[in-house]
Amino acid sequence: MPTDAPDTWLSGETHDRARIELALLLVRRNTGSHQGNHDLERRPARIRKLQELLRTAAAGREPPDDGIAEPGMVLTVRYEADDLTETFLMADHEDATSGLLPVCSSRSPLGAALCGAAPGQQRAYPLPGGDTMTVTMVAAVPYRNWRRPRRT
């Protein structure tokens, strides 16, 4: 993955939702309105998280359609241990994309291993128990170009 590529990618819709949530939290903080003590206690941490996310994330800037795995790409991988394939969006978990795709962070073990992979390349990543899993990159397309499979 190029060194100038962001760790976090957000769709334009998710970026807008984060901006709105941040604005609402700031208004509530400044006006003193809150929904309860739990909300009041977690608000500063959420504000900081949203501010950092909005400051550092690539929002709506689509990666090039070059087949290379990076944030903002929909990846299809094959797990070598069981020959199963999976398709997911490489993005921050804030970007749930309306539940259309699972999300894999580029900072997760799998995401970090796949960053920069081209179709056909194999990558290994650590599993929690100390073993490793090998995956093969099948395809990577920008989210904007991904077509949800039709059910037959």
pLDDT in tens, 79-129: 999 989 999 998 866 655 556 789 898 889 999 999 999 999 999 999 999
Q: What is the DSSP string of 59-128?
A: ES-PPPSSS---TTEEEEEEETTTTEEEEEEES-TT--GGGSS-EE-TTSHHHHHHTT--TT-EEEEE-T
User: What are the tens digits of pLDDT across the range 32-49?
Assistant: 665 555 555 678 888 888
Token couple for 28: 């509530």
- Residue 144's identity, in one-letter code, is R
Q: Identify the pLDDT of residue 115.
A: 93
Residues 6+ away with beta carbon under 8 Å from 151 = none
- Domains detected in the chain: 1-146 (3.10.50.30)
pTM > 0.85: yes or no: no
pLDDT of 3 higher than 80: no
